[in-house]
Structure formats: C-alpha cells, structure tokens
C-alpha cells in the first residue's frame, strides 16, 4: 500500500467528523428537500443491501447480483446516499463537502481494495475487471439491463436455500407456471431443481 493510500485508509473516518460538522453548519433543509433526499436514499440503501447479500468476503470473488454490473456496488450505493444527503441539506456548500469527501476518500479506497483483490484472486479478478466497470458505466448498465430478464421461477429455484419452503411452494405453484413460459421463451436455461 503506497503512502497516499495508507493516509486515506487511516484518516477516512477521523476526517469525516469535521466534515459532518461543516455539512450540518451550512445545511438549510426544507421538508421537500428532505423528502427527495430520503427517496433517493432508499435507492442507495437498496443497492447496498442487495450487494451485501451477495458478498462473500475473502472466500470467493463475488461476480453475481449487483457485482455483475459494478465492481463496487457497496460504494455505488454509498455514492447514491451521499447524493441523497446532499439533496436533503439543500445547500450547495454542504453538497460540495459531501461529494468532495466521497470522491477524495473512496476513490483511493476502491483502488486499494482492487489491488488486494487482484493479489488474492489474480487471473480471475483480471478477467472480471475487463468485463465489469470499477464504479459505473451507463453503457454497461444499459447493456446488462436488456441482456437478461429477471425470472420469478429462476429466483425461486436458485434461492431455495435462502427462502422458506412455504414461500417457495407458493411461488412455484402460483407464479412460476406463468413465468416459465416467459423465461424459456426469452432464452433462459432452467437449472435442475
């Protein structure tokens, strides 16, 4: 780890406190700004929760779920939360502080973690990095969105260890017969259950 990366890793949390004080000092929230910020914040929380549900730290290289679209979905969700907080403060000074802090610190953190993943997973990570953007690519997201359809049947079959048997039976009995035709018609390959 180089000296700049070590500095950012060590001071990331410590410097967030004075930044938070400044953000609150300059904030001029309105009910509307808080509402819009909260709505956007829900999206950020959803992305982070989805990413956390797929992550297997230090076990395997996670390439499914949100990790199929960005190598850093947790930080992408955090970026959306930063924008949400910026909107809620209703202050351009607070927004500059929040976004500047995020860009400064998290760009270094993402690069440091990428080097660790490359060291730990070598060729597998290099192949993954070639096909998935570091943070966000509109072209990649658009392509990924239209490449595959989400399928209730596949979700119920593949997620069976994680969902209750009653819910799985409900989905397979009620929804899946309709969805199987759509999934197979769209070219999906059904796994062995």
* pLDDT of amino acid 145: 54
Regions of the chain where pLDDT drops below 50: 148-150, 152-164, 166-193
Burial 44-69 (b: 16+ CB within 10 A, else e): beebbebbeeebeeeeeebeeebbbb
* pLDDT of amino acid 4: 72
Taking Cα atoms as reference points, which of 153, 126, 132, 23 lies closest to residue 76?
132
* pLDDT of amino acid 42: 97
Cα–Cα distance for residue pair 56/3, rounded to 1 Å:
28
pTM above 0.75, yes or no: no
* pLDDT of amino acid 137: 67
* pLDDT of amino acid 49: 92
* pLDDT of amino acid 20: 94
């Amino acid at each position: 780890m180089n000296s700049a990366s070590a500095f950012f890793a060590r001071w990331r949390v410590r410097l967030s406190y004075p930044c938070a004080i400044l953000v609150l000092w300059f904030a001029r929230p309105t009910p509307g700004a808080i509402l819009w910020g909260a709505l956007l914040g829900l999206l950020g929380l959803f992305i982070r929760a989805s990413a956390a549900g797929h992550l297997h730290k230090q076990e395997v290289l996670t390439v499914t779920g949100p990790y199929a679209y960005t190598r850093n979905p947790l930080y992408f969700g955090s970026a959306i939360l930063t924008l949400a907080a910026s909107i809620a403060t209703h202050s351009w000074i607070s927004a500059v502080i929040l976004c500047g802090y995020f860009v400064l610190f998290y760009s270094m953190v993402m690069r440091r973690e990428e080097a660790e993943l490359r060291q730990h997973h070598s060729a597998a990570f290099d192949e993954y990095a070639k096909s998935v953007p570091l943070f966000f690519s509109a072209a990649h997201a658009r392509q990924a969105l239209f490449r595959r359809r989400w399928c209730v049947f596949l979700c119920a079959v593949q997620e069976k260890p994680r969902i209750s048997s009653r819910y799985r039976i409900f989905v397979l009995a009620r929804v899946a017969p309709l969805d199987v035709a759509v999934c197979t018609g769209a070219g999906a390959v059904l796994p062995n259950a």
